[in-house]
Amino acid sequence: MTEVATKAKRVTLGGLNAYYGDSHAVKGVDLEFAPNQVTAIIGPSGCGKSTLVRCVNRMHEELPGARATGSVRLDELDVYGPSIDVVSVRRTIGMVFQRPNPFPTMSIFDNVAAGLRLTGTRGVKLRERVERSLIGAGLWEEVKDRLDAPGISLSGGQQQRLCIARTLAVEPEVILMDEPASALDPIATLRIEELVEELKQRYTIVIVTHNMQQAARVADKTAFMLSGELVEIDSTERIFTTPSDSRTEEYVTGKFG
C-alpha cells in the first residue's frame, strides 16, 4: 500500500448528540470534515467543541456517565456501528491533546513506539517507523542524537510535537487536535501551526481552538459552535469576513466569548 494523499478519509457527523449524565453538551450536529483539509472548530468555552471531537474517535464515552448518539461516518463506515471495535476506531482516528502528555517513564524513542507497542502491532520495522514519525512531526533533527533521553526532558513545544509523532506512528487517517497549542508559547505555537499545514497533505485534520487568529491562519474551513449547537460552517475566509449568521459575526468580532 502506498501512502499518498488519498489515504485521508472524509468524516461525516450525522445528528450527533453527546451527553454528560443529564447535561446535553452537543445538540444534533451535522458536520463534514473534508480529506486533506484543516477544519477548525471555534466557539466560546463550554460550547461543546472539545466534546464534539472527542465523539469522533469515541473517546467521549470513556468518561463516566458520558454517552453519544447519532452517527460518525469515516467515508462510508459508521464508527458507532454495532460491529465496530472501538479500539480500532482510535487507531484510525488519532488525537492530540491540549497539554502535551508524553509517557513519563519512556524515552523519546519509546514514546513514539508506544502506540505500536500498546496496540500490539507486529511486523513493523520499529526504528524506521519511529524515524519517519519524528520527521513527520518536525522533531527528528532536534532529537535524533538523544532518542534514549526521557520524553519529558524536552521543552513543552517539543513534547507536543513528540505527542504528534506518537499519533502519526500508528498511521491514522484522521487527526483530531484539541487545542494543541493552548499550553505553548508563541514560537512553539507557530511550529505546531506549520506542522498542521504540512500534515494536511496526508490526513484529514480537525483542530479545536479558542484562538481565532489560529483558526484564521491554519484552517481551510471553520465551524462555529455555540451552546452545543453548530451555528455554521464555511470557508475560513467567509466565517471571518462575511458570516451568514449574526451570532458568528458577533463572536469573531469579539462582541462576546
Min CB(53)–another protein separation in Å: 11
Q: How many residues does the chain have?
A: 257
User: In this structure, what are the phi and psi dihedrals at residue 223, rounded to the nearest 5 degrees?
Assistant: -110, 140
Stretch that binds another protein, among 22-30, 74-82, 88-96, 186-194 (CB under 8 A): 88-96
Min CB(116)–another protein separation in Å: 9
Question: With binding defined as CB under 8 A, does residue 150 bind another protein?
Answer: yes
Question: With binding defined as CB under 8 A, does residue 254 bind another protein?
Answer: no
Q: Which of 45, 76, 83, 87 binds another protein (CB under 8 A)?
A: 87
The angle, 0 to 180 degrees and rounded to 10, between the axes of the packed helices 126-136 and 108-118 is 110
Min CB(160)–another protein separation in Å: 12
Q: Which of 158, 160, 167, 248 binds another protein (CB under 8 A)?
A: 167
Annotate each residue in 217-246 with x if it binds another protein (CB under 8 A) or - if it does not, as one string.
Answer: ------------------------------
Question: With binding defined as CB under 8 A, does residue 59 bind another protein?
Answer: yes
